C-alpha cells in the first residue's frame, strides 16, 4: 500500500494505492490521525487506486470520522472502484461520508 498526503488550499488530500486490509489499515489510520492532529479538518480520501478494503479499512475510516467529531470538518471519499464501493455500501457507511466520483469533483465539496 502506498499513501500520499498532499496539503491543498482548503483540504488535505490522502491518496491510497493498493489495499486497506488487516495489515495495512493501521498505517493508514496513523497517517490520517497525524494529519487531523496537525489541525486539518477537511480530508479528501482519493481512493481511485484503492483495489481492496476489508473491515479493518472500514474501521480506520470510522476512526477518522470520530476523530474529526464535532469540529465541523468533513471527509469526502472520491473515485471508489466498484468492489470498494460495494463494501462501503453494505457496511452502511454511505450516510456517514460524502462520496463523489472523482477527486476533481471532490474539490467542490470544500
Q: Which residues bind other proteins (CB under 8 A)?
A: 19, 21-24, 52, 54-56, 58-59, 82-83, 87, 90-91
Q: How far is the CB of 95 from other proteins (least distance, A)?
A: 15
Q: Which three cell numbers stand for residue 33?
A: 490521525
Residue whose CB is less far from other proteins, 58 or 68: 58
Q: Which three cell numbers stand for residue 24?
A: 495495512
Residue whose CB is less far from other proteins, 9 or 82: 82
Percentages (nearest 5) of helix, strand, coil residues in the chain: 40, 30, 30
Residue whose CB is less far from other proteins, 57 or 106: 57
Q: Which three cell numbers stand for residue 29?
A: 489510520
Q: How far is the CB of 102 from other proteins (least distance, A)?
A: 22
Centre a 10 Å sphere on the Cβ of residue 44 and count the other Cβ atoms it contains: 26
Amino acid at each position: 500500500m502506498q499513501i500520499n498526503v498532499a496539503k491543498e488550499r482548503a483540504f488535505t488530500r490522502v491518496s491510497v494505492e493498493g489495499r486497506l486490509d488487516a495489515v495495512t489499515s493501521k498505517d493508514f489510520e496513523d497517517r490520517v490521525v497525524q494529519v487531523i492532529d496537525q489541525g486539518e479538518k477537511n480530508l479528501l480520501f482519493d481512493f481511485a487506486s484503492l483495489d481492496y478494503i476489508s473491515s479493518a479499512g472500514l474501521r480506520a475510516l470510522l476512526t477518522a470520522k470520530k476523530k474529526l467529531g464535532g469540529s465541523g470538518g468533513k471527509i469526502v471519499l472520491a473515485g471508489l472502484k466498484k468492489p470498494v464501493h460495494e463494501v462501503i455500501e453494505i457496511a452502511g457507511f454511505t450516510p456517514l461520508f460524502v462520496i463523489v466520483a472523482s477527486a476533481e469533483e471532490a474539490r467542490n465539496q470544500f
